[in-house]
């Protein structure tokens, strides 16, 4: 059974891999035996992670690319061998009431969380199809792709869109043995979210909704990411894996 969770011989691409959830997943994949490509805009961050992984005896390389550069990302993927696993993780949030949301806010959130995610998946799965090989696409969604929350109209809209996209793509690519699923975390402490938790009222609200009574850590995500990448989840596609501490249970 343990062998089913190994990723030996698999090529894995993780976007947004310089920090937070993306970095943790990339590190976990490398430790599970995958040859990992860390993708992000900031070269110094992903280079440091890749060098540390290689020093530990793992396989890791970098791809410096902005996924919102649709043509640039597609060209970079076309120039590389097909991947077996794709973690579509790059994303952002600009929490504020709708009355304060600007067109620039909309473009920033939707362009990255929806448009870039869709076209990144197109590029990576296109190479899988060209190579005639099965694969696993893991779209990083959120509990907010299943519920609503104040000051998160844009974010919820983007993640609900990603959930629908995931189900449709799973139907489309199932016959080619390419699986497509989402991971849906609750609030995870990362460099992106840490400033939010400096507000005690916000933290208290979050903890009141999370039935397990604690803020999530990136280590809470990696097991699920390995499961979805591995043969252990071979019959799972078009599904959402909830890692929300019970937020959406009521």
pLDDT tens for residues 12-41?
Answer: 999 999 999 999 999 999 999 999 999 999
Token pair belonging to 13: 């691409």
Q: Is 159 annotated as catalytic? A: yes
pLDDT band at residue 83, thresholds of 50, 70 and 90? very high
pLDDT band at residue 44, thresholds of 50, 70 and 90? very high
Say which DSSP state 217 is in: -
- Percentage, residues of the chain above pLDDT 90: 96
Q: Is 83 annotated as catalytic? A: no
**Tens digit of each residue's pLDDT (9 = 90 or more) over 146-158:** 999 999 999 999 9
- pLDDT at res. 196: 87
Which of 146, 116, 131, 103 minimizes the C-alpha distance to 247? 146
Average pLDDT over residues 71-97: 97
Q: List beta partners, residue 71.
A: none
Taking all residues of the chain, what is their mean pLDDT, rounded to a whole number?
Answer: 97
pLDDT band at residue 104, thresholds of 50, 70 and 90? very high
Is the pLDDT assigned to residue 2 strictly greater than 90? no
22-25 contacts at long range (C-beta below 8 A, 24 or more positions apart): 22/87, 22/89, 22/90, 22/140, 23/49, 23/218, 24/218, 24/219, 24/221, 24/222, 25/87, 25/89, 25/221, 25/222, 25/225
Domain ranges of the chain: 2-245
**Phi and psi torsions of 64, nearest 5°:** -85, 110
Give 201: exposed, middle or buried? Use CB within 10 Å, 0-12, 13-18, 19+: exposed
Candidate list 155, 200, 209, 211, residue with the active-site label: 155
Alpha helices by DSSP H, listed for 174-240, are 200-209, 219-229
pTM of the model: 0.96
What's the CATH superfamily of 2-245? NAD(P)-binding Rossmann-like Domain (3.40.50.720)
Candidate list 159, 200, 209, 211, residue with the active-site label: 159
- pLDDT at res. 68: 98
Average pLDDT over residues 133-139: 98
**Phi and psi torsions of 63, nearest 5°:** -135, 105
Which of 16, 72, 15, 13 minimizes the C-alpha distance to 37? 13
**Phi and psi torsions of 237, nearest 5°:** -155, 150
């Amino acid at each position: 059974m343990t062998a089913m969770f190994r990723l030996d011989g698999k090529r894995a691409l993780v976007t947004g891999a310089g920090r937070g959830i993306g970095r943790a997943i990339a590190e976990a994949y490398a430790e599970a035996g995958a040859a990992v490509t860390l993708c992000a805009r900031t070269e110094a961050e992903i280079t440091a992670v890749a060098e540390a992984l290689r020093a530990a005896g793992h396989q890791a390389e970098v791809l410096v690319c902005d996924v919102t550069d649709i043509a640039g990302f597609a060209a970079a993927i076309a120039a590389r061998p097909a991947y077996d696993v794709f973690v579509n993780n790059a994303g952002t949030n600009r929490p504020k009431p709708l009355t304060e949301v600007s067109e620039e806010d909309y473009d920033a959130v939707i362009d990255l969380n929806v448009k870039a995610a869709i076209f990144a998946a197109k590029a990576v799965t296109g190479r899988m199809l060209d190579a005639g090989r099965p694969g696993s696409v893991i779209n990083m969604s959120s509990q907010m792709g299943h519920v609503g929350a104040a000051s998160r109209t844009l974010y919820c809209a983007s993640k609900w869109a990603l959930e629908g996209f995931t189900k449709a793509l799973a139907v489309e690519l199932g016959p080619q043995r390419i699986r497509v699923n989402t991971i849906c975390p609750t609030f995870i402490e990362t460099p992106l979210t840490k400033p939010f938790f400096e507000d005690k009222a916000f933290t208290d609200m979050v903890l009141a909704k999370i039935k397990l009574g604690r803020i999530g850590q990136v280590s809470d995500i990696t097991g699920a990411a390995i499961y979805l990448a591995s043969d252990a989840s071979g019959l799972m596609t078009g599904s959402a894996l909830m890692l929300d501490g019970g937020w959406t249970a009521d």
